[in-house]
Amino acid sequence: MYTQSFNVPDKGQKTAAVTPSLEDPELMARFDARIDADGRIEPQDWMPEAYRKTLVRQISQHAHSEIVGMLPEGNWISRAPSLKRKAILIAKVQDEGGHGLYLYSAAETLGTSRDQMLDGLHSGRAKYSSIFNYPTLTWADVGVIGWLVDGAAIMNQIPLCRCSYGPYARAMVRVCKEESFHQRQGYEALLVMMKGTDEQKAMVQDAVNRWWWKCLAMFGPPDADSPNSAQGMRWGIKRISNDDLRQKFVDATVPQAKVLGVTLPDPDLKWNEARQHHDYGQIDWQEFWDTVDGNGPCNKERLSTRVKAHNDGQWVRDAAQAYARKQKERAIKEAA
Amino acid sequence: MSTAIDYLLHLADNAVVLGQRDAEWCGHGPILEEDLALANVSLDLIGQARLLYQRAATLMGGDATEDKLAYFRDAADFRNYTLLELPHHGPLVGYAASDRDYATTIVRNFLYSALMVHLWDALTRSSDSELAAIAAKSVKEATYHLHHSRDWLVRFGDGTDESHARAQAAVDHLMPYTEEFWASSPAETAAAEAGVGVDVRTLRAGWDALVNDAFAEATLTRPACRGYVTQGKLGLHSEHLSFLLGEMQSLARAHPNGCW
Ligand SMILES: [Fe+2]
Ligand SMILES: [Fe+2]
Ligand SMILES: [Fe+2]
């Protein structure tokens, strides 16, 4: 899954784009030319510090989102209502963990270690997608997250497959394939439930009602309030604006909701013939920012759970290191 | 016919119960790679359970399905080894709460997969060709589970003082439960006689060799086991299984007419 990501500064980070004027003008000119020609930047290439920092922030936020995102859906693994759905859900949550792994690896090519990034997450400095700070209250949430949250993630991430930074773009190609699989599985699970009992249908509608607005907010603040977007566009890190992506998502989702037989909880949602797009109502940005700032319904639970897993696992990682060290010493002794 | 069914349910219940337990680590593993590895183990086990329940349901006929067998039988109907239903921590009563201990998880997976590599291998020659086919697939999975758990067992035993102590405590706690492997149940005996199943006692030497070899490499001590032998495969379980099933079955039972 994904994230409003790089529109949201990490704690203590200035939102103004760093001016590149301190960089070597010749290298800078070559870099700009590569970007303008839509070329790829690879790890060994020179890049301006601000570009590197922006990417580390964005990729690590994305990685953290995948890892934290395992928790809300993981919440239903033990109670999945059939063995088939249990297996699908375990595989999905496992995929999200795999996305976290490739993304941490992509960010490591920029010279920041996984430990440093995890430190950022655990200390509360680094952000992750705020969508995961809402609770999964029923089984239908699992389907709705697949359909809408993974769906919004795909909208956000498809353009990133053309991101100017090679390792990130390549990771995104693989991730996007799996996210679209998740989306189809989530939607299919809901279709089956909508053919079931009245209680099941009500469960689906309730979940849609709770997640719809949160998903719209996933695309990040309106373009007018997105300080990082212009620089991101310039660098080929961002390709399509928040509002355009959000519009695309709304337009794609409305017919899917109709087929499913649920209503989207927005009285202002309607087709606009002149714009050839759907109009939609006001997103509650105050609520969004409260949650981004750490004061949503599950922020503390999500973060503390990650921190606890990490701390509880310290002895396991220590054991692996100690054993590897002993093995190495034994090998040296044997060779001597 | 019912001989094969009872035996299939024993194998399926083993797989689903341990699959349920191992999935508890998803999102909480000690390192991200282990979240993925345990999820793999769990997926394999749930997959085995599905095939085994499906086979049992076919033999039962009527309206039996894999999910009816997994979700609508009570604890006393489950035929899994008691070892597999225990929570991921030391010996505590059913309603006690404790942090999960990865050493317990690893030792349990090791002890069970060291049995299953032999059992599945023998079952590839089952007279039930469907079961033989499931066994052929499962033996590969069990081999991976054995490698994974054995690698960690050795790292823990020969790692730090803390990891050694945790691994030894888990071995001391869990080893007595493995005595249940060797006390043949009526279902196992009947299945072995019919050529569907295997006489488990014939697997003991192979299991002992795997266990002793791994413990030696891990510098762990194998405890002597005396006294009570658990009887989960007869339907007489620990206090833990009804909690596990209570959670696992809650949603399916709340919507008995639901379709998922
Ligand atoms: Fe993602
Ligand atoms: Fe993902
Ligand atoms: Fe996903």
Nearest partner of A60 among A8, A27, A28, A104, judged by Cα:
A104
Length of chain B: 260
The shortest CB-CB distance from B49 to any of A83, A195, A316 is to A83
How do residues B170-189 score in pLDDT, each as one tens digit? Answer: 999 999 999 999 998 999 99
Answer whether A233 touches B (CB < 8 Å). no
The C-alpha atoms of residue A9 and residue A163 are separated, in whole angstroms, by 19
How many beta carbons lie within 10 A of that of residue A329, not counting itself? 10
Answer whether A320 touches B (CB < 8 Å). yes
Answer whether B28 touches A (CB < 8 Å). yes
pLDDT, averaged across chain B: 97
The C-alpha atoms of residue A310 and residue B7 are separated, in whole angstroms, by 41
| Residue A89: closest C-alpha in chain B | B43
Give pLDDT, residue A279. 98
The C-alpha atoms of residue B20 and residue B238 are separated, in whole angstroms, by 16
Chain A residues 180-199 with CB within 8 Å of chain B = 189, 192-193, 195-197, 199
Residue A166 has pLDDT above 50, yes or no: yes
**What ranges in chain A are assigned the alpha helix state H?**
25-36, 49-68, 70-74, 83-108, 114-122, 140-144, 150-157, 166-194, 198-217, 229-234, 242-260, 285-290, 299-312, 314-335
B219: left (phi over 0), alpha (psi -120 to 50) or beta: left
Answer whether B158 touches A (CB < 8 Å). yes
Residue A8 has pLDDT above 80, yes or no: no
Give pLDDT, residue A16. 45
B260 in any annotated domain: no
Chain A residues 274-313 with CB within 8 Å of chain B = 305, 308-309, 312-313
Q: What's the A180 CA to ligand 2 centre distance in angstroms?
A: 10
Using a CB-CB cut-off of 8 Å, the residues of chain B touching A78 are: 20, 23-24, 247-248
Task: Specify whether the CB–CB gap between B196 and B4 falls below 8 A.
Answer: yes
CA distance to partner chain A, nearest, from residue B64 (Å): 14
ipTM of the complex: 0.98
- pTM to 2 decimal places: 0.95
How do residues A193-225 score in pLDDT, each as one tens digit? Answer: 999 999 999 999 999 999 999 999 999 999 888
User: Residues A180, B21, B217, CA angle at the centre, nearest 5°?
Assistant: 110
Local structure of A139: helix, strand or coil: coil
Average pLDDT over residues B117-121: 98
Taking an 8 Å cut-off on Cβ atoms, the answer to whether B49 and A317 are in contact is: no
Taking an 8 Å cut-off on Cβ atoms, the answer to whether A74 and B250 are in contact is: no
Answer whether B255 touches A (CB < 8 Å). yes
How do residues B100-115 score in pLDDT, each as one tens digit? Answer: 999 999 999 999 999 9
B217 in any annotated domain: yes
B259 in any annotated domain: no
How do residues B3-45 score in pLDDT, each as one tens digit? Answer: 899 999 999 999 999 999 999 999 999 999 999 999 999 999 9
B210 in any annotated domain: yes
Length of chain A: 336
Answer whether B26 touches A (CB < 8 Å). yes
Least trusted range by pLDDT, from A2-11, A82-91, A112-121, A321-330: A2-11
Give pLDDT, residue A217. 96
How many beta carbons lie within 10 A of that of residue B253, not counting itself? 14
Give pLDDT, residue A232. 83
Structure tokens at B128: 């039930």
Range of the domain at B229: 3-254
B87 in any annotated domain: yes
Ligand nearest to the CA of A183: 3
H or E element that contains A277 = strand A277-279
Percent of chain A past pLDDT 90, that is, above it, reads 85
**What are the C-alpha distances in Å from A7 to residues A44, A240, A250?**
27, 13, 20
Chain Cα centroid distance, residue B1: 24
B164 in any annotated domain: yes
Q: How many domains does chain B have?
A: 1
Answer whether B154 touches A (CB < 8 Å). yes
B114 in any annotated domain: yes
Residue A236 has pLDDT above 90, yes or no: no
pLDDT, averaged across chain A: 93
Q: Say if residue B56 is exposed, middle or buried (CB neighbours under 10 Å; 0-12, 13-18, 19+).
A: buried
Give pLDDT, residue A1. 45
Residue at token pair 């963990």:
A97
CATH of residue B133's domain is 1.20.1260.10
Taking an 8 Å cut-off on Cβ atoms, the answer to whether A195 and B248 are in contact is: no
Residue A5 has pLDDT above 70, yes or no: no
Residue A53 one-letter amino acid:
K
